[in-house]
Amino acid sequence: MLAVGVAIEVGPRRFAAAVGDARRRLVGVAPYVLPLLVVLGMRRLALTVGPELSWYLQWNVSGLIYSLEGATIATIQSLATPAVTEYFVFVYLYGYVFLLVFPVLAYFALERSERLAELLAAYGLNYGLGLVCYVLFVSYGPRNVIPGLADSLLFTTHPTAQHLTAEVNLPTNVFPSLHTSLSVTVALFAWRTRREYPGWLVVAGLLAASVAVATMYLGIHWVTDVVGGFALAGVAYWGAVRAVERYGCWQTLPPWLADLPSRR
């Protein structure tokens, strides 16, 4: 999917030229890559220490969300068919990854590094703010709160997916939906780069909408989680654009970073 997307929307020659100029482009976005890596590392650590802090705070909002929504997710799942389920499983597992990775490659191919820097900053804000919410709030998804009404369609149709999701998330981390927030963030940047990549705007919009619906259809997230994901996406998009406008991209590596290889 990535190779086809790059070939059609970016172009082989354009991408090859960008690879040849990779050092300048990577230096430009370095101040936004480093914080993203730190946040991802903290998120990994939070999978082991986060639950203890969450239960210590005792802010379990699962009941509150259920009292607001009731059996809304069960109503959505009442429309389920095998073909629709397969589509949303594919979107949730594979379309989502494509949605996040493709714009990194596409924006890397742009002559200026600002758009890639904004995207990476937005990813960092999504993961960082999402991590704060996950630590503060204990929130179980509908498949755990109302198992008699909401089915875990992802795991019943693809049991092996349970092992994958367990490696990257916890059942108490559903508010807000990071699948939704990151997907909507990508769609917002697709609108921002619609002149450079008009075809990507259509694909990103359709995939982002599908991912948001998939999280509810598969019984993973509540509607409230998805609404929270939309809000988080807006905050991350705005914050990332403002940050890059203010701080810009690096022209060269700072001495302390450039000297690291020579110190080894």
The dihedrals phi and psi of 79, each to the nearest 5 degrees, come to -90, 5
pLDDT of residue 262: 43
Residues 47-89: tens digit of each pLDDT: 776 666 666 677 888 889 989 998 899 999 988 899 999 999 9
* pLDDT at residue 225, as a whole number: 96
Distance CA 10, CA 122 (A): 22
Q: What is the CB-side half-sphere exposure of residue 170 using CA atoms within 13 A? A: 22
Residues 128/116, Cβ–Cβ less than 8 Å: no
Q: Give the pLDDT band of residue 1 (cuts 50, 70, 90).
A: confident
Tokens found for residue 55: 């239960």
Question: What is the pLDDT confidence band of residue 117, given thresholds at 50, 70 and 90?
Answer: very high
pLDDT tens digit sequence for 19-35: 998 888 998 999 999 99
Distance separating alpha carbons of residues 161 and 229, to the nearest angstrom: 22
Q: Please give the structure tokens belonging to residue 203.
A: 């694909």
pTM given for the model: 0.90
For residue 9, pLDDT over 50 is answered with yes
Average pLDDT of the residues in 236-248: 94
Instruction: Choose the weakest-confidence range: 90-94, 201-205, 258-262.
Output: 258-262
Q: Report pLDDT for 91.
A: 96
Report the SS3 class of residue 203. Answer: helix
pLDDT mean across residues, the chain: 88
